[in-house]
Chain A
Amino acid sequence: MTGVRIVLSALALAVALVLQVTVFSHLAWQGVVPNLCLLLVVATALVRGAQPAMLLGFAGGLLLDLAPPADHVAGRWALALVLVGYVAGRMRQDTRPTAVAVVATVAACSFVGTSVFALSGLLLEPHAPGVPHLLAVIGVAVVWDVALTPFVLPAAMAGFRRLDPQRVPA
Chain B
Amino acid sequence: MTAPDRRERRWRATDRPDDRGRPPGSLVVALLLACATLITLDYRGGADSPLEPARRALGEVVGPAETAAAAAVRPFTAVPDWFRSHDSLREDLDDLEAENAALRAQLRSSGVDRNRLEEYDGLTTAARDLGRALVPARVVGMGPSQSFSRTVTIDAGSEAGLTPDLTVLNDDGLVGRILRVTRTTATVLLIVDPGSTVGGRVGDSMEVGFLTGRDEIGDGGLLDLELVDESVVPARDAPVLTWGSEGGAPYVAGVPIGRVTRVYSDVRETTQRAVIEPYVDFGALDVVGVVVASGSDSDRAVVEADGSLR
The 24 sampled A-B contact pairs (Cβ below 8 Å) are A18-B65, A23-B73, A28-B142, A32-B217, A33-B146, A49-B23, A50-B23, A51-B23, A51-B24, A54-B23, A68-B58, A68-B63, A68-B153, A69-B141, A69-B142, A70-B147, A71-B179, A74-B41, A74-B55, A75-B35, A79-B32, A121-B148, A127-B213, A129-B194
Indicate if the CB atoms of B23 and A75 lie closer than 8 Å: no
> A76 — nearest CB in chain B belongs to which residue?
B39
Stretch at the interface among A85-93, A96-104, A148-156: A85-93
The reply on B233 being an interface residue by CB < 8 A is no
Interface flags for A23-66 (1: CB within 8 Å of B; 0: not) read 11110101111010000000000001111101100100111111
The reply on B182 being an interface residue by CB < 8 A is yes
Interface flags for B23-40 (1: CB within 8 Å of A; 0: not) read 110011001101111110
Question: Hey, which chain B residues are within 8 Å of A71, CB to CB?
Answer: 143, 149, 151, 179, 187, 189
CA distance in complex: A62, B34 (Å):
11
Q: Which 3 A-B pairs have the closest CB atoms?
A: A75-B38, A31-B145, A25-B142
> A88 — nearest CB in chain B belongs to which residue?
B21
Interface residues of B in 31-75 (CB under 8 A from A): 31-32, 34-39, 41-43, 49, 51, 54-55, 58-59, 62-63, 65-66, 69-70, 73
Question: Hey, which chain B residues are within 8 Å of A72, CB to CB?
Answer: 147-149
User: Tally of A-B residue pairs with Cβ under 8 A?
Assistant: 208
The reply on A141 being an interface residue by CB < 8 A is yes
Among the listed A58, A118, A127, A134, which residue makes an inter-chain contact with B195, where contact means beta carbons less than 8 Å apart? A127
- Count how many chain B residues have C-beta atoms less than 8 Å from C-beta atoms of the other chain: 70
Q: Identify the B interface with A (CB < 8 A).
A: 9, 16, 18-24, 27-28, 31-32, 34-39, 41-43, 49, 51, 54-55, 58-59, 62-63, 65-66, 69-70, 73, 77, 80, 140-153, 179-180, 182, 185-189, 193-195, 212-213, 215-219, 283
CA distance in complex: A22, B188 (Å):
15
Indicate if the CB atoms of A69 and B152 lie closer than 8 Å: yes
Indicate if the CB atoms of A58 and B144 lie closer than 8 Å: no
The reply on A9 being an interface residue by CB < 8 A is no
Question: Hey, which chain B residues are within 8 Å of A32, CB to CB?
Answer: 144-146, 217
Q: Identify the A interface with B (CB < 8 A).
A: 14, 17-26, 28, 30-33, 35, 48-52, 54-55, 58, 61-79, 82, 86, 89-92, 94, 114, 117-118, 120-121, 124-130, 133-134, 136-137, 140-141, 166
Indicate if the CB atoms of A22 and B194 lie closer than 8 Å: no
- Nearest chain A CB to B103 CB, angstrom units: 29
CA distance in complex: A141, B152 (Å):
19
Question: Hey, which chain A residues are within 8 Å of B141, CB to CB?
Answer: 18, 21-22, 25, 68-69
Indicate if the CB atoms of A166 and B19 lie closer than 8 Å: yes
- Nearest chain A CB to B284 CB, angstrom units: 9
CA distance in complex: A166, B12 (Å):
14
Indicate if the CB atoms of B51 and A66 lie closer than 8 Å: yes
Q: Known contacts A51-B24, A125-B148; is A136 also within 8 Å of B217 by CB?
A: yes
Q: Known contacts A21-B144, A30-B145; is A69 also within 8 Å of B215 by CB?
A: no
CA distance in complex: A127, B19 (Å):
41
Question: Hey, which chain A residues are within 8 Å of B140, CB to CB?
Answer: 22
> B16 — nearest CB in chain A belongs to which residue?
A166
Among the listed A82, A128, A137, which residue makes an inter-chain contact with B146, where contact means beta carbons less than 8 Å apart? A137
Q: Known contacts A28-B142, A69-B143, A82-B35; is A54 also within 8 Å of B27 by CB?
A: yes
**Apart from A50-B21, A114-B146, A130-B215, what are 16 other A-B pairs with CB-CB below 8 Å?**
A14-B62, A17-B62, A31-B218, A52-B18, A66-B58, A68-B151, A68-B180, A68-B185, A68-B186, A69-B142, A70-B187, A71-B179, A74-B42, A90-B22, A117-B147, A125-B195
Indicate if the CB atoms of A22 and B21 lie closer than 8 Å: no
